[in-house]
Amino acid sequence: MGAKLVNYEKIELPTDLVDKCKRLFSLLDTDGDKEITCVETEIFWAKNFPKTNSFNIFDQIDRNGDKTISEKEWVGFWKKVANSGMSENEISTRLDFLMRGYLWERFDHLGKATIDENEKQKKKGCFICSS
């Protein structure tokens, strides 16, 4: 089911942007096991009603539905954002804000950056925060 990944990596992110993505990833990955779990996102955004926030993140990024976000999924997501038309500067700014603990927001206004219908169907099974 999760094996059918969309090819969204036509545009490569510049190295410095990938590095920044990875820096944010390691901030989120508090135990350093290279997977972000829902609990970890809740720790990171503890002050800011994290459940909705965490849900949005996993909804958008956990491509294979295993309830964790790997570094590959994470960087892939930002590539997807770049491919949907967000400029490198904008992505960079967004990463800066996220690193400061600003809330995640959905990328709906970018059209292609949002999850596709297929994934929307799946998301019920991906919700991890409640257990």
Contact string 71-110 vs Ca ion (x = CB under 5 A): ----------------------------------------
Is 56 a binding residue for Ca ion by CB under 5 A? The answer is: no
**What residue type is assigned to position 103 of the chain?**
L
Q: How many residues bind Ca ion (CB under 5 A)?
A: 7
Q: Are 58 and 69 in contact (CB under 8 A)?
A: yes
Is 29 a binding residue for Ca ion by CB under 5 A? The answer is: yes
Distances (CA, A) of 108 to 56, 59, 71, 116: 11, 12, 22, 11
> Stretches 14-22, 47-55, 64-72, 113-121: which one binds Ca ion (CB under 5 A)?
64-72
Chosen residue from 18, 39, 43, 64 binding Ca ion by CB under 5 A = 64
Task: List, in sequence order, every residue forming a beta bridge with 70; answer none if it has no partner.
Answer: 35
Chosen residue from 19, 31, 88, 105 binding Ca ion by CB under 5 A = 31
Q: Are 61 and 74 in contact (CB under 8 A)?
A: yes
